[in-house]
Structure 1
Amino acid sequence: MRERLSMDKDWLFHHGDIAIPVENSHKAVYGNAKAGGIMGAASIEWNDNEWETVGLPHDWSYRQPFDREGGVPDFGYKPRGIGWYRKKFKLEPSDNGRQLLLEFDGIATYATIYLNGSVLGRNFCGYTSFVVDITDNVFYGDRPNLLVVKVDASVSEGWWYEGAGIYRHVWLTKKDPLSIADRGIWVNPVKQDGEQWLTNVETRITNERETAAEVELLSRVVRADGAVVAEERTAGRAEAGEAAVLKQELPVSSPLLWDVDAPHLYKLHSTLLVDGEERDTVTTSYGYRSIRICPDTGFYLNERPLKIKGTCNHQDHAGVGVALPDALHEYRIARLKAMGSNAYRCAHHNPAPELLEACDRLGMLVMDENRNFDSSPEGLRQVENMVTRDRNHPSVVFYSLFNEEPLQGTPVGRKIFKRMKQAILRLDDTRPVLGAMNGGVMEDGGTVDVMDIAGFNYMHGGYDRFHEKHPGQPMIGSETVSAFATRGTYVSDTALQFFDSFDRERANWGNTARESWQAINTRDYMMGTFVWTGFDYRGEPTPYEWPSVSTHFGILDTCGFPKDSYYLYQAFWLDEPVAHITGGWNWPGKEGQPVTVMTHTNCDEVALYVNGELRYRQAVELYEQCQWEIPYEPGTLRLEGYRQGKRVAVDEKITSGAACALRVETSKAALLGDGRNAVVVNVYAIDAAGRFVETAGQRVSFSLTGSGIILGAGNGNPNSHEADHLMERCLFNGCLQLIVGSDAGHNAIELTLQGEGLQPLVQVIPVEVADEPPYVLSVHERYINNWLLTQELSPERPDPNVEIHPTDMNSWEKVDVSFGPQQLLQGADGYVIYRSSITLTEREKNSSPYLYFHALSGDTEIYVNGRLLAKQSSPWPMTLEVALDDVELGDETVLSVLVGIQPDVYKPGINGAVSMGLRG
């Protein structure tokens, strides 16, 4: 049966490229040209004992210091470069005969995948999930497999912080060679008359066997409560070495629909049977929902008109770079949902699978975006990967093929778009396809009129003109606003590179939130908007550069702390009453001086009080809001919102005292002790009365005990150069955030925070008992596998340290001793020599190294650098340990093993793996 195992644990990592010593000898050149013969860091012999141990997801870039001189502003001044990953693991003999697939969810950026000294795959997009079949190249039993990934992040695809490394999950799938194909199931529910739905299912069966097979596919539709609501059994035939596609139609009456407000999900359980016996099972999550686009009235979900209230987002988060734990994806989507957002644009790339799963669960529509505008075979492969991976997600309602491409208005761009769109339609014809354009929309020979939807990036002054020219073309604001604000800041300061929060600072190509939403919301034919951006992100620090390292565009900062505009969007996008005061009320030394106060409300009328005295009561125009200049006086600022004369919402700001303590909010009540869970810990400065201190900036240190680890910290300051991974961080305008990850176990976490002038705080986070998901264990021994063996037996005892001529490829044979004994030695009489060499670091030399022979038989003598260290005589395989303490170990240590063989020796010679260990 199918197994899916995590490969995330215990990788060895080296930051920087690895220079392979130039070897021009015939032996080196000849060997490197052979399968499994790659030299350097991808070889089993490479010494990785000095490498760092890391877990995945892993982003090495965010841990690097900011580099103003050599860094790139677009990348947040963080170095990228090249890195190497290695993981040694074993497979059980029972796995022999199964198909083995490695699935990489995302590697930034270019990646080369090596297994056991051979290149098995390359990937050229940092946002593409891809699969490598390793079935033919693996070892079973005692011999470890070596998986090596070289990551070249010196190549960039975007103009924002992209991170570097294996920053998403890696999985190993084991399955029968006759099985359901990887990404082989597509569930496409289609509404029929009344409340009837037809669940169209296509299942691809692959047969890697040598004979054809008659198969049966049993498909069951299961509701969330476990009830089976439809079932179908279909017979088919899978020819040897080919794939068969079985199509099924499962009728379902009155399913619970997937909607943004009620995201009901179903599961399809697919079981492959041969002669009545189960061979494979796959479970697919999906939902019943319909989408319809009208060029006059916009977007319809389940035949209900729905204005798209979306945000554009990159994928990094404060404290962890792009290596987000799964729970953090859900946290971010939940923050956007609470704002009233119902749509998420993956800008400008295919997202992590866990993000789409969170959107499915929480009810968030998705514009799934391709990274590279490219119709070459490689470009089409990237598009196809996006579609086959994501088409079962009910949240995905749009495919976007590009963002702001110079060719968008040209005939060349038109041809590229059409070919890419055709690639999508061959796999999924149920979702509209668009591009996000910042020009070229009025060109007849460009891409726009071959799109299903015209995507407008800004250009809201051209909405009406385009609609008049193309009245049958649906339109969406694929990217809008680009307003600037710094959380908790109410006076713009060019020197400090901070922006105020009154929705008036914007990029020269953008608009305020109020201008943009009015342009969208007052036009029925505009189906909605995707605001740039939901969250601040590292890199592209527009309009400033150093010391800014993050953007100012976000509605929330890099931690997900709301800026004031968050409440403005709540006023726009929520039906329930919202009343929020925008403006600070902590201005020591400014008593009597006017300060700006603004409303963010959807109420008809507001009243503003200062220390109980009514200052203003007036009607509110939604797209303008109210703004006043009020003489500051410490105390209480109170805003009341009214609808039809009835008070329905209240907000207060109270002048605080000095910060003297901290308050903590966690994103969940407890952490799962499964080694993968995470919790967001938001920290706020408070005064003696427990009031939030919006101006606090003290440095806070933190530590924890129990089954957890601090993955990183942030504070949302776009100009902060503090390290994300250190155990201290300054508050920024009263806030900071920690990401606490699960360390397998069930001991409660005690998180201790303390700062100057702040009362120490101990926050207990319960840890619930939870099993670790199945994962592949790593092997940490250093293996010696580059053995040569004399081709002919010598009847007389030879010199065990005989010199090998560099061009001699015939007197000596390269052998893999871990596969067992050489058959040519069985029943023989005479002598053979095994030869290998290793290079040891100074640390290894000083750590009491030893050799360990897992299986050795015959009359054996072990020589190291020409010196006899051990003898053993046995007619059957035995282990042997050889200490190297007393040997002078130079740059290269030569190993020679002389074996005397007689016909009655069982499995003669070295017939098991050889490894090197350290005692020190």
Structure 2
Amino acid sequence: MRERLSMDKDWLFHLGDIAIPAQNSHKAVYGNAKAGGLTGAASVEWNDNEWETVNLPHDWSYRQPFDREGGVPDFGYKPRGIGWYRKKFKLSPSDNGKQLLLEFDGIATHATVYLNGSILERSFCGYTSFVVDITDRVFYGDRPNLLVVKADASVSEGWWYEGAGIYRHVWLTKKNALSIAHRGVWVNPVKLDGESWLTNVETTITNEREEEARFELLSRVVRADGEVVAEEISAGVAKAGEAIVLKQELPLVSPLLWDVDSPHLYRLESILLEDDERCDGANTSFGYRTITICPDKGFYLNGRRLKIKGTCNHQDHAGIGVALPDHVHEYRILRLKQMGSNAYRCAHHNPAPELLDACDRLGMLVMDENRNFDSSPEGLRQVENMVTRDRNHPSVVFYSLYNEEPLQGTPIGRNMFKRMKEAVLRLDNTRPILGAMNGGVMEDEGTVDVMDIAGFNYMHGGYDRFHEKHPGQPMIGSETVSAFATRGNYISDTGLQFFDSFDREKANWGNTARESWQAINTRDFMMGTFVWTGFDYRGEPTPYEWPSVSTHFGILDTCGFPKDSYYLYQAFWLDEPVVHIAGGWNWPGKEGELVTVMAHTNCEEVALYVNGELRYRENVDIYEQRQWEILYEPGTLRLEGYRNGKLVGVDEKITPGAPCSLRVEASKPALLGDGRDAVVVNVYAIDAEGRFVETANSLVAFSIEGSGVILGAGNGNPNSQEPDHLQERRLFNGCLQLIVGSNAGSDTITLTLQGEGLQAVAHAIPVESVEEPPYVPSVHERYINNWLLTQDIALQRPDPNVEIHPTDMNSWEKVDVSFGPQQMLQGAEGYVIYRSSIALTERERSSNPYLYFHAVSGDSEIYVDGKLLAKQASPWPMTVEVSLDGVELGEETVLSVLVGIKPDMYKPGINGAVSMGLRQG
């Protein structure tokens, strides 16, 4: 049956490229040209004992120090470069005959994947998930497999912080030779008349056998409560090596609809039967919903007009770079939902699969965006990967094929777009396709009129002109605003590179939030907006450079702490009353001075009180809001909101005392002790009365006990160069965040935090005892496998240390001893020699090394650098351990094994893996 196992645990990692010494001998050149013969870090023999052990997801870039002189502002001044990963793992003999697939969710940036000394795949996009079939190239049983990934992040695809390394999950899928293909199920529900639906299912069945296979496919639609609400069974025949597609139609009446407010999900159970026995199965999450676009009225979901209230976002998060645990994706989507957002643009690349899962569960519409505008075979493959991976997600409602391309208004761009669009439509014709344009929209021979939707990046002064020219073309603000703000800051300061929070600072190409939303919301033909950006992100520190290392665009900072604009968008996007004071009320030494205060509200009228005294009561235009300059006096600032003359909401800011302690809030009540879960821990400075102190910037040290680990820390300061991975971090304007990951176990986690001048705080996080998800364990032995064997069986005892001429490829044969005995030795009599070599580091030579032969049969003599170290005579395979302690070993240690064989011996010779171990101390 099908198994999907995590490959995330216990990789060995080396930062930097690995120079392979030039090997000009015929032997080296000849061997490197053969399958499985690669040398260097991709080879089994490469010494990785000094490498670091890491778990995935892994981003090495964010842990590097900031580099002001050599770093790139767009990348947040973080070095990238090249890194190598190695994982050795074993497969059971029972896996022989199954199809084995490796799935990489994302590697930054260009990647080369090796298995057992051969190149398997090259990836040219850091955001594309890809799958490699390893069935033909694996070992079973005692011999481990070596998976190696070279991640070349010295190349870039974007102009923002992209991270570096295997920053998303890796999976191993084992399935039968007759099975459902990877990404082989597409569920496409179609609404008929009334409440009737047809669940169209296309299932691809692959037959990797050498003979024809007959089968049945049972497909079931299962509701969230487990009830089967529709099913169909179909028969099929697949020839040897053939993939066939079965189409099924499962009718259903009145399904629960997937919607942004009630995201009901269903599961399609696909069961493959052969001779009435289950031989494979797959579960596919999907939803019933309709989407319609109208050039006059915009976007409709399930027949209901819905204004798109979206944000654009990159994928990094404070403290952890782009290596986000699954829960952090959900945390970020929840923050946006609470703001009133209903849509998420994946800017400018395919997201992690877990983000789309979170959008499905939580009810967030998605614009799924392709990274590279490219109609070459490689570019089309990237587009196809996006579609086949994501088309079952009900949250995905748009495909965007590019962002701001110089060719967007040209005939060449038009031809490219059409070819890419055709590639999408061959796989999925249910979603509108667009590009995000920052120009060229008025060109007749450009891309815009071959799009289903015209995507406008900024250019809001051109909405009406374009609509007049193309009245039948739907339009969306694919990227808008680009306003600047610094969380908790209320005075712009170019020296400090901070912005105020009153929605008046913006990029020269952008608009304020109020200007942009008014332009969108007052035009029915504009289906909505995607604001740049939901979250601040590392890199592209516009308009400044050093010391800024992150952007100032976000509605939330890099941690997800809301800026004041968060409440302005709540006022725009939520129906319930919103009343928020934008402005600080803690200004020591400024008593009697004028300070700015602003209302963020969707109420018709507001009243502003200072220490109980009414200062203003005024009507509010939602697109303008209200702003006052008032004399500061410590105490209570109170804002009341009224609808129809009735008080419906209140916000207060009370001048706090000095910070004396910390308040700790976790994003969920408990952590799963599965070694994969995570929790976001937000920390706030408070005074003696428990009031938030937004001016606190103390250094806080933290430690952890129990079944957890601190993955990183951040504070949302766009100008901070503090390391993300140390056990201390400053508060920024009163806030700090820790990302805590789980270890396998159930011991309660205790976080201890101690700030300068603040009372120490211990915060407990319960850990639920659960089984670890199934994973592929790593093997950490060092294996010796570059063995040569004499072609001829000598009748007389030869010199076991005879030299091999460098060009001799014929009297010696390269053999893989892990596959078992050489058949040519069965029933023979005489002598053979095995020869190999191994390079040892100084640490290995001083750590009591030993050789371990898993199976040797015959009269064996084992030599190391010409010295006889062990002898064993056995007519059947036995283990042999050879201590190297006290042996003077060179940098290149030569191993020779002389084996005397006789006709009656069982499996003569070396017929099992050979490894080297270390006895520390």
> Normalising by structure 2, what TM-score?
1.00
Give the corresponding residue for 1:164. 164
Give the corresponding residue for 1:866. 866
Give the corresponding residue for 1:814. 814
SS of 1:753's equivalent in the other structure is strand
CA deviation vs aligned residue, 1:414-454 (integer Å, no higher than 9, x gap): 00000000000000000000000000000000000000000
**1:173-212 equivalences in 2 (<5 Å):** 173-212=173-212
How many Å apart are 1:797 and its aligned residue? 1.2
Does residue 729 in structure 1 map to residue 749 in structure 2?
no
Give the corresponding residue for 2:464. 464
Give the corresponding residue for 2:448. 448
Partner letter of residue 689 of structure 1?
E
Partner letter of residue 306 of structure 1?
L
CA deviation vs aligned residue, 1:25-78 (integer Å, no higher than 9, x gap): 000000000000000000000000000000000000000000011111100000
Give the corresponding residue for 1:577. 577
CA deviation vs aligned residue, 1:513-537 (integer Å, no higher than 9, x gap): 0000000000000000000000000
How many Å apart are 1:302 and its aligned residue? 0.2
| Cα distance in 1, alignment partners of residues 312 and 568 from structure 2 | 17
| Cα distance in 1, alignment partners of residues 450 and 795 from structure 2 | 80
**1:415-814 equivalences in 2 (<5 Å):** 415-814=415-814
Partner letter of residue 506 of structure 1?
K
| Cα distance in 2, alignment partners of residues 156 and 332 from structure 1 | 25
How many Å apart are 1:631 and its aligned residue? 0.5
**1:61-140 equivalences in 2 (<5 Å):** 61-140=61-140
How many Å apart are 1:796 and its aligned residue? 1.2
| Cα distance in 1, alignment partners of residues 581 and 360 from structure 2 | 33
Partner letter of residue 626 of structure 2?
C
Give the corresponding residue for 2:853. 853
**What stretches of structure 1 of length at least 5 have no aligned partner?**
none
SS of 1:529's equivalent in the other structure is strand
**Once structures 1 and 2 are overlaid, which stretch shifts more, 874-883 or 261-270?**
874-883
| Cα distance in 1, alignment partners of residues 724 and 473 from structure 2 | 46
SS of 1:310's equivalent in the other structure is strand
**1:14-413 equivalences in 2 (<5 Å):** 14-413=14-413
SS of 1:468's equivalent in the other structure is helix
| Cα distance in 2, alignment partners of residues 906 and 199 from structure 1 | 60
SS of 1:783's equivalent in the other structure is strand
Runs of 4+ in 1 over 4 A off after TM superposition: none
How many Å apart are 1:904 and its aligned residue? 1.8
How many Å apart are 1:275 and its aligned residue? 1.5
How many Å apart are 1:777 and its aligned residue? 0.8
Partner letter of residue 291 of structure 1?
I
Partner letter of residue 122 of structure 1?
R
SS of 2:760's equivalent in the other structure is strand
CA deviation vs aligned residue, 1:287-318 (integer Å, no higher than 9, x gap): 00000001000000000000000000000000
| Cα distance in 1, alignment partners of residues 37 and 782 from structure 2 | 17
SS of 2:809's equivalent in the other structure is coil
| Cα distance in 2, alignment partners of residues 704 and 272 from structure 1 | 48
How many Å apart are 1:354 and its aligned residue? 0.1
How many Å apart are 1:824 and its aligned residue? 1.0
| Cα distance in 2, alignment partners of residues 682 and 101 from structure 1 | 39
Partner letter of residue 264 of structure 2?
H
| Cα distance in 1, alignment partners of residues 235 and 818 from structure 2 | 43
How many Å apart are 1:324 and its aligned residue? 0.1
| Cα distance in 1, alignment partners of residues 621 and 149 from structure 2 | 57
How many Å apart are 1:469 and its aligned residue? 0.2
Q: Identity of counterpart residues, as a percentage? A: 85
How many Å apart are 1:873 and its aligned residue? 1.0
| Cα distance in 1, alignment partners of residues 815 and 886 from structure 2 | 29
Give the corresponding residue for 1:825. 825
Partner letter of residue 16 of structure 1?
G
Partner letter of residue 333 of structure 1?
I
How many Å apart are 1:163 and its aligned residue? 0.3
| Cα distance in 2, alignment partners of residues 164 and 857 from structure 1 | 48
How many Å apart are 1:905 and its aligned residue? 1.6
| Cα distance in 1, alignment partners of residues 758 and 798 from structure 2 | 78
How many Å apart are 1:828 and its aligned residue? 1.4
| Cα distance in 1, alignment partners of residues 586 and 867 from structure 2 | 80
How many Å apart are 1:392 and its aligned residue? 0.3
How many Å apart are 1:717 and its aligned residue? 0.2
CA deviation vs aligned residue, 1:144-195 (integer Å, no higher than 9, x gap): 0000001111010000000000000000000011111100110000001111
SS of 1:515's equivalent in the other structure is helix
How many Å apart are 1:793 and its aligned residue? 1.2
**Once structures 1 and 2 are overlaid, which stretch shifts more, 555-564 or 889-898?**
889-898
| Cα distance in 2, alignment partners of residues 169 and 517 from structure 1 | 37
Partner letter of residue 233 of structure 2?
R
Give the corresponding residue for 1:13. 13
CA deviation vs aligned residue, 1:598-644 (integer Å, no higher than 9, x gap): 00000000000111111111101100000000100001100000001
SS of 1:759's equivalent in the other structure is coil
| Cα distance in 2, alignment partners of residues 771 and 434 from structure 1 | 44
How many Å apart are 1:213 and its aligned residue? 1.4
Does residue 883 in structure 1 map to residue 883 in structure 2?
yes
SS of 1:758's equivalent in the other structure is coil
How many Å apart are 1:658 and its aligned residue? 1.0
SS of 1:333's equivalent in the other structure is helix
How many Å apart are 1:205 and its aligned residue? 0.6
| Cα distance in 1, alignment partners of residues 472 and 833 from structure 2 | 81
What is the number of equivalent residue pairs in this alignment? 920
**Once structures 1 and 2 are overlaid, which stretch shifts more, 775-784 or 898-907?**
898-907
SS of 2:68's equivalent in the other structure is coil
Partner letter of residue 507 of structure 2?
A
How many Å apart are 1:239 and its aligned residue? 1.5
SS of 2:571's equivalent in the other structure is helix
SS of 1:412's equivalent in the other structure is helix
| Cα distance in 2, alignment partners of residues 161 and 113 from structure 1 | 23
| Cα distance in 2, alignment partners of residues 511 and 287 from structure 1 | 36
CA deviation vs aligned residue, 1:665-705 (integer Å, no higher than 9, x gap): 10000000111100000000001111100000000011111
How many Å apart are 1:465 and its aligned residue? 0.3
How many Å apart are 1:815 and its aligned residue? 0.5
SS of 2:873's equivalent in the other structure is strand
How many Å apart are 1:241 and its aligned residue? 1.0
SS of 2:386's equivalent in the other structure is helix
SS of 1:244's equivalent in the other structure is strand
| Cα distance in 2, alignment partners of residues 857 and 660 from structure 1 | 74
| Cα distance in 2, alignment partners of residues 263 and 135 from structure 1 | 39
